[in-house]
Each structure stands twice: as C-alpha cells, then as structure tokens.
Chains A and B, each alone.
Chain A
Amino acid sequence: MTQPELDPVLEAEFQPDVTGDGPVISARDVRVWYGTTRGAIRAVDGVSFDLAPGETLGLVGESGCGKSTLGRGLMGLLPAGAKRDGEVRFRGEDVLTMSPRDAHRLRGSQLGMIFQEPMTRLNPLLRVSAHFEEAIRQHEPKLPKREVTQRALDALRMMGIPPTRYRSYPHEFSGGMRQRLMIALALVLRPAFIVADEPTTALDVLVEAQIVQILNDLRRDFRTSLLLITHNVGIVAEACDRVAVMYAGRIVEQGRVADVFAAPQHPYTRELLRSTISLRTTGLNFIPGSPPDLIDPPPGCRFAPRCPQAMAVCATTDPITIERPGGGQVECWAVGPTDLIPAGGTARLQQEELAVADEA
C-alpha cells in the first residue's frame, strides 16, 4: 500500500515557518571533543556543511567516526566534560554562543531529534496524549487544550497512527509504531531542522522500509530540513538529497547523493561503497584495519594508514578541502590540489601491514 498524497490541510499545519532559500543550518569548522580519563577524544574535528530548507542530508561512516556526536553537538546535547567550538548558525543565529535559556527554547520548537530506540525516550507511565500535551505546552503554553489535542491527533494521523490509539501507553505500540510516534512528536512542534540518529536501525526490514518511506515523504512535502544519521548507504540512496561521508571526525566528502555514489572521489567513500553488501554483491571487499584512535589521530590525512592510494604527502600534511568535480566538497590529496603537493609528495606511501589486531 503506498502512502497517499498528503492532505493539504495537514501539510499546511505542519509546514515549518521557513521562508527564503538561505541555509537553515550552516556549520563552520565545528569541533566537539569529549573529555575522558585518557585525554580528549576529538570526536568531531572541524566539520562544515550547509543544509537548505527541505533538504535531507545523509551522514554516513563507520562506527565511532563521530556521526552521533555531530548530531548531538548541533543540538547542544552533550555530556559533562565535552567542549565544542566553531560556528553553527541556525537561520543566521549562532547557536553555540547562545544562552542556555535560548538554546532550550530553540530545541524542540525549532530543532527536533529522533533517536534509534524510541522506547528509551518515551515515558512508559505516560499516555501518548500526555507526551504530546507536555511537548506542546513546553513551547506553546498558551495554546488552548482543544487545539493541543487537535494538533497532536493530526500529527499522529499524518504518521498513520489512528486516533483510536491516542490514549494508549507507549508499550502498547509495536516497534515501528513507536518510531512513528517519535517522528510525530518531533513534527508536532513544526521544527525547521531535525536530527534523526539511526531511526531505523532497531527495526525489522519491512518496517525500516516503511519508515524510510515516511522520511522520504517528509522530504517531498515539507520544508523541514533533516540530518539523517545512518550506517546504511542504501537508506541514504533512497531518502537523502545530499550525503556527507564522515571519517575519524571529519567530513571527507559531501555532495549530491547521485553524484557521490555514482563517482565517489574520496578513497574512503569508494571503499565504503565497495564493502557494503547489497543484492548485487558478487564478491566481498573490505577496508583493512580500523578507524584511528581519536585521542591521538595520525598526522596528515587520517585515512592514510588504510588508504589504498596513500601518498607520501598524505602522512605529513592535512589534505585541503576542495570543490568536488561534479559538485560538493572533498578533501584528499589524490583529488587535488596537485600544485600544493611538495616535490616527491606523490610517491607511494609505505604503510604498515594491517593485521586483525588493528581491526574494528
């Protein structure tokens, strides 16, 4: 059964108040470091990207490369001992320097978040109705009760949850329904920007596909921008406009999904796509070794110890972010700029043998 075209009334009701074409979120050189007992983990280390209204950006990469940290860093949801800097502009306003009060006001009403395991975010003792009432009241305390209910029911309806379930408890829902509930809860405040951190990882294949379709519909019908964090490149291909490939705290390549997947420029993107098992897999490929320790990452390009194309310059000098042939950005010496590579820098890099001992 296909999702029907969206009811224009609903569409108007949940359309975020976004005008113009300037980016909704604009991140410049964002860093997020965690404090640990061993030193600082450079989980996000100089990340820049823009997100236009209504656009969905997929964020992919191996486990531990900083995807969730970036998502939480944008939302300002970091644990004690973590620090962030750089610049994150939400419709022109810098959120990193904002007062905690303003940041709280912005979260929920303008910035929403969807998590992997919805049950950890839903209070098992509260009915669905109470969840919605609380969320709406927090940010729009003056809205009359009737309208609160109305808005909540409409959000549920949009996610295909019947009004008969409005007074149920979260545990009475199946996994997929709960995730739709979470999406409805995020949408009900009409945020302009949503971070979805692996929203389908805990779900069954068919239900995952249903949720991906819902995200896809959101992209089609709304001007809400979405940062979709996932480790599944298939989902990126199906539900995202652009993709950002993250490795060891850096976005190493970003651009339109069709461009990047059709002609990956960065060796890591290429290897990542090659090692993905899909229905067309005829042989197994994998990237040797594992991502580096982010407390003390290797100098130069962080992918150099594993890169099949590594050159001498890669191990000493940080690659420079350049325009990607075909649109987007990439940072890799093999792509360019060639004129900045010192003499002899293009020689093949002598890499250490990678054994299972170094494996993720």
Chain B
Amino acid sequence: MPTKPDLIDVRDLSVHFGLRGGTLGRLVGRDAGVVRAVDGISVTLREGEVLGLVGESGSGKSTFGRALLGLAPATSGTIGFDGADLTSMSRSELRALRQSIQMVFQDPSAALNPSMTVAEAVGDALRVHGMKSSVERRERVVEALERVGLSPVQLFLDKYPRDLSGGQKQRVVLARAIVMGPRVLVADEPISMLDMSVRAKILQLMLDLKQDLGLSYVYITHDLASAKFFCDRIAIMYLGRIVEIGDTEEIFANPRHPYTKALLRAAPDPDPARAVAKDLPRGEVPDAAVPPLGCSFHPRCPEAVAQCGWEARDLRTLLETHWTRRTPEEYDAESAAVGSLDALARPDTSVHVGRGGADAVRSILDRIRDEEPDEPLWRGVADVTDDGAGVRVDFHPGVDPALRRAGGVDVACVLYPDDSPDDSAGG
C-alpha cells in the first residue's frame, strides 16, 4: 500500500481523570488520585485508513476516541489534525472541527435523544452549524438517510428512536455522523450492542460509506474478529497504553505481545473442530487508579520475567489463589501463619509477610513454589530473608517497557529488544 498522508497525528497523548474523594488513591502509589485513562499514546491515522483500537474495557479506547473530538480534555500531548493542534483549540474552533471528525457510539439507543424524531436528530447536526433553511436541511437529511440505507425515507423521518430496531437506530446515528460530510469517523464499538444478525449489515454499511465518501475510521472494539476483517492497522491497548501496533496481517500472523496472543486465544471460534483447551491469562483488568508496577500486564502475563514489575500485590494474589486449592483446615492453619494480607495491598517491591514465625511462612511459600514451579512470580523474587515473625520478600525492580520496533510492528514488552537503530515510537 503506498503511504498516504497523515490525517491525524497523535503525539504522547495523555488523558488523566482526577478521582473524586480519592483518599485511597492519594494514600498509595504513583500520581495520587488519578486514573490514567490514556497514558502517553502516539499514533497516526492515514488518509483513507481504518485504524483499529482493540482491548478489554478500561483500556482507554473510548477515552482516546473522545479525546480525538475534544470531548475528553487532553492532560498532555498533542493531536495534530490538518496541521493544527486540537488540544490547544478554543471551544468554538473545536465545534467547527466537529464537522470534520465525527463519532458513532456503542449503544444506539442511548445515543439518540428520545424526544427527537429521526429527521430532527439528523437535521440538528446541520442546524447547530448554522444551516438555517429547514428545506435545505430536509434535503440533506433525506440524502443522508438514503445513504445509510434507511429507505423509503418517508417511513423513518418522523419516527422516534423507540419505534426503531437496534440496527435502524445505529443507521440513524451513522446518518447523523455523515450528514456534515466529515473526513474521519471515530466508531466506538459500533456493533457490539447489536444483535449478531445485524452486525454484519452495519459493518458492510460502514465499508460502503468509507468507499463512497472517502472516510477514514478509528474503529474501537474489543472483538478481534471484526477488527481483523475491518482494519488496515491495529493498535492493541491495555490500561491506557498501546502495547502492540502494526499492520493487521502482521499482527494476526505473528502476534508478539503476550496480551495480543491472549486475546487471540480467547476469541471464540464457531468451528468445533478447532476448539482446544486454551491457556488463558488469569485474573481481570486491574484498577486503573493503582496500576501494577512495571509492565501493567505482568500480573496476568504467562511469559513474564524478572524485570516485569513484580510486587507485593502479586504475592497476595498468589496466596489467595493457593488457598482456593487447600482444604479449609489447611487454609486456617496457613492463614494464621501468614496473618493479615492488608500489608500486601500496596505496590511495594520489598514486603514483610507473616506472623507465625519465619520458618512456617517460608515453608508455605516453598510449598506453593513446589506445587507450581512455573509460576512467573518466582522469577521476580530476588530474595526471601528472615524478618521478625515472618519473612521479607524482595522483588527485582521492574521496568516499564516502552514501544519498540520488533519485526515490522511496535511492541511494548521486555521480551522484544529494540531491533531498529533509530527512534521509532508511534507507528
């Protein structure tokens, strides 16, 4: 594919949200009381391209999408669009810009004002941008509705959202987005709330619109299957960062980041012949207000190594998981020796555990280790020393891996040493 000019150029974008009443957040960890919804993202969107943002919920996809329209305020970084920086624009400049960048929302029922008809909803986009003549507006609305396949248009113009099906509502949302003739559409999970039989129809419509109107898309999804089909390039996101970004084919042919691999393994496949037991990452997306040290993915990463950022909270999870496999009697005895786990609730790299004597605690830890010697956490343990009535566990210091070039894609993982001589952040 010949490289097209960049349409949107995001550099080091961060969007942080202050936590309300975040006493907990202030007590612990790094930047107190802040959720780093988007944490230093650099990416470009080329003319006519579909860029996919894929990740679980809470990875900052929606926030990034909203930031592209100026709906979420950037904490730092720049968003270049047509040579101008969106983050330093005034409110009225931003409003004018909305004619060029538009958004499609996840839940079509919530995205339409329940007390506006289809014609009013789509026409309002024109009205707020100063198109006074209602005849002219009507013409453009009819044209947009026809474009999104809502024909015969007369049947829909005066309907309220509640009289439409999910797919029809999403078509109205698309009509409202394209009626001003935008160049970029940010589509935030546009098909995930729709019935499966409608998903393909809406995706096909989006492809047609791209073709006919020369649109570029930022396609946000948690579903790798639709991303694989729809996107030219894919950025895999986790907890506010891009962890892997590259051309779709390369990402799917050679997934590199352990998180990408995990997502691929987890994608349900309707072919029963291929249903195999999967090696899934444990746990869930952690609290973004107190993210893990080092690599954010390390608590779930099956390939994690010594410098991935091991810390006290991982030890807590290890003990708790261990106890789901012990009998109640064993649990009672062991938890008495270990004592309260509250000391393990903070991101520390050196921590004291136990109150039942160093030997008792040590033997519990050894037992856990013997049961599962492959547990990656042990790779991160630097030392276990006697410390009063328990032991002190010291972890190797973690590094926070930056995006680096690895075989045609960019990956943020210590397993991939930088193979490009020059600066290659972004993509």
Contacts and interface: CB of A to CB of B under 8 A. Distances in A.
A76 B390 CA distance: 55
A275 B56 contact: no
A346 interface: no
A154 B151 CA distance: 58
A63 interface: yes
B57 A204 contact: yes
Contact of A359 (B167, B275, B281, B285): B167
B262 A356 contact: no
Interface in B303-362: 320-321, 323-325, 327-328, 331, 335, 341
A359 B165 contact: yes
A177 B284 contact: yes
B200 A237 contact: no
B132 interface: no
Given A160-B321, A206-B281, A238-B275, A279 B269 contact: yes
A286 B56 contact: no
B72 interface: no
Nearest to A285: B200
B387 to A, nearest CB: 22
A41 interface: no
Contacts of B207: 284
Interface string B244-267: 000000001000000000111111
B269 A278 contact: yes
Given A206-B266, A276-B196, A150 B149 contact: no
A233 B224 CA distance: 16
A208 interface: yes
Interface stretch (A14-22, A106-114, A209-217): A209-217
Interface stretch (B115-123, B225-233, B392-400): B225-233
Contact of A213 (B57, B280, B331): B280
Contacts of A347: none
Contacts of B262: 206
Interface stretch (A131-139, A255-263, A296-304, A326-334): A255-263
Contact of B278 (A204, A213, A280): A213
Contacts of B212: none
A356 B324 contact: no
A277 B197 contact: no
B200 A360 contact: no
Contact of A63 (B195, B268, B269, B284): B195
Interface string A191-230: 0000000000000111111101100000000000000000
A164 B267 contact: no
Interface in A224-253: 231-238
B404 interface: no
A175 interface: yes
A7 B327 CA distance: 10
A175 to B, nearest CB: 7
Contacts of B225: 277-279, 281
A156 B320 CA distance: 12
Given A237-B268, A286-B204, A360-B167, A277 B280 contact: no
B201 interface: yes
B270 A261 contact: yes
Nearest to B270: A233
A1 interface: yes
A51 B204 CA distance: 39
A278 B203 CA distance: 13
B285 A204 contact: yes
Nearest to B376: A1
A221 to B, nearest CB: 14
A205 B56 contact: yes
A234 B267 contact: yes
Contacts of B280: 1, 206, 209-210, 213
Contact of B272 (A212, A257, A276): A257
Nearest to A233: B270
Contact of B195 (A4, A150, A360): A360
A231 B165 CA distance: 17
B152 interface: yes
Nearest to B371: A4
B324 A157 contact: yes
Contacts of A177: 284
B197 A275 contact: yes
Contact of B166 (A157, A232, A360): A360
A278 B266 CA distance: 12
B150 A1 contact: no
Contacts of B171: 356
A357 interface: yes
Contact of B263 (A7, A154, A156, A205): A205
Contacts of B328: 150, 153-154, 163
B110 interface: no
Contacts of A174: 284
A93 B167 CA distance: 43
Interface of A: 1-2, 4, 7, 9, 62-63, 150, 153-154, 156-157, 160-165, 174-177, 204-210, 212-213, 231-238, 257-258, 261-262, 272-273, 275-282, 284-287, 290, 355-357, 359-360
Given A213-B280, A286-B197, 18 more contacts: A1-B280, A1-B282, A157-B324, A204-B56, A204-B284, A206-B281, A208-B268, A232-B268, A234-B268, A236-B270, A273-B270, A279-B225, A279-B252, A281-B225, A284-B229, A287-B197, A356-B151, A357-B151
6 contacts: A63-B166, A163-B324, A163-B331, A277-B203, A279-B252, A357-B150
Q: Which 8 A-B pairs have the closest CB atoms?
A: A234-B268, A162-B320, A209-B266, A63-B195, A204-B56, A286-B200, A237-B272, A233-B270
